[in-house]
A and B are shown apart, each in its own frame.
Chain A
Amino acid sequence: DAGVIQSPRHEVTEMGQEVTLRCKPISGHNSLFWYRQTMMRGLELLIYFNNNVPIDDSGMPEDRFSAKMPNASFSTLKIQPSEPRDSAVYFCASSLGGTTNQPQHFGDGTRLSIL
Chain B
Amino acid sequence: GDSVTQMEGPVTLSEEAFLTINCTYTATGYPSLFWYVQYPGEGLQLLLKATKADDKGSNKGFEATYRKETTSFHLEKGSVQVSDSAVYFCALSGAGNNRKLIWGLGTSLAVNP
Contact = CB atoms under 8 A, between A and B. Distances in A.
Contact of A103 (B41, B46, B97): B46
A101 B105 contact: no
Nearest to A30: B99
Interface in A34-77: 42-43, 45, 48, 50, 55-56
Interface in A78-98: 91, 93, 95, 97
Contacts of A105: 45-46
Contact of A42 (B42, B93, B105): B105
A25 interface: no
B5 interface: no
Nearest to B91: A104
Contacts, number: 56
A100 B94 contact: yes
Interface residues of A, number: 24
Given A42-B105, A43-B89, A55-B99, A100 B46 contact: no
A48 B99 CA distance: 8
Given A42-B105, A48-B99, A50-B99, A101 B49 contact: yes
12 contacts: A43-B44, A50-B99, A55-B99, A91-B44, A93-B44, A97-B99, A100-B31, A100-B96, A101-B51, A102-B99, A104-B46, A106-B43
Interface of B: 31-32, 34, 41-46, 49, 51, 89, 93-94, 96-101, 103, 105-106
